[in-house]
Structure 1
Amino acid sequence: MTTLANWPASDLDVRTRQLRERDMLPKGGRGLHAPDIGPDHAATILIAMASASKAVDAGVRVLDYWGLASAAIVDGLGAATFHDGLTAVLSDPALANRVDHVRVCRSWPEARISIQGAELVYRNPCAPIDKSHVREDLTFDGALIHQLAIVLKTGGASAAYQE
């Protein structure tokens, strides 16, 4: 992920360490002995990368985004939560190839998966949105999502973290 997303390895390490402490990622050895990650783990890591501007805040912030809900269904993606939707996309390279982008709002818990112009919006319907301040978004390009899905499917899940 550090290579594909051009993300500093030290920053990703802090974020994933927090996720392992919360049992959101598998624990194990390092390097060749590291446990494999699946599409659900990759989705959790992407949410941790996108949800917090500071690595030290990622463990707490990922929980705010994990279960964001969507009532809409797009062809091939009927996931009820943001984590489930991102996992579905990363599990299927053909579906991932149709993704335009994934956008996560850091100002308030909201996320969007855009698939061929149709956009699934994930948010907490009970939480008010304070739009009085500037909206800060982090966007993952569809090409990154597609490449990560291919690596997870063909390159072995242990390679995905190193990519």
Structure 2
Amino acid sequence: MAKNKTLTKAKAKAMEILDKVSFFDDLSQADKSVLAEFHWCFIVYEPHDVLTDEDSLDKRFFILLSGGVSVLKGSPAQLLTQLKPGEIIGEISFLTNEPRTASVIANTQSSALVIDQELLDELPVEIRERLKDQIILRMAQRLNRMNNRFALGHL
């Protein structure tokens, strides 16, 4: 009985988080409920924790749920950008099966939904397609921002 109560509490917390993050706005409450069933994939990172390392072959992507992270490249590490809740991390390596292009470090206590191919395969097709649509949209927005920065000479 205590285990069921703990699982119910974890799912409720996952639902609460999903309701606050814009990445999931296109999902219905029923879709979010299905996603919340995978509450063990909601990972908390402490400041300075590494979500992923440059050049690693990690095949997961992350949806930042809370906190903030820095994206760093090279040695010595150079800051490329800082990300906030609702942004995605690692989608390029996930989609291309290539090594990570940068390292990602938590700036503050942060949480992320960590998705691998196995989890994605377990999701109903409708939810999987909505997630993919959001990934494509956010990648296009990021590319547009980078193009604008490049055109202004800020890269």
- Asked if Structure 1 and Structure 2 have the same fold, meaning a TM-score greater than 0.5 normalized by the shorter chain, the answer is no
TM-score where L is the length of structure 2? 0.34
Larger proportion of strand: 2
Determine which structure has more spread, i.e. the larger CA radius of gyration: 2
TM-score where L is the length of structure 1? 0.33
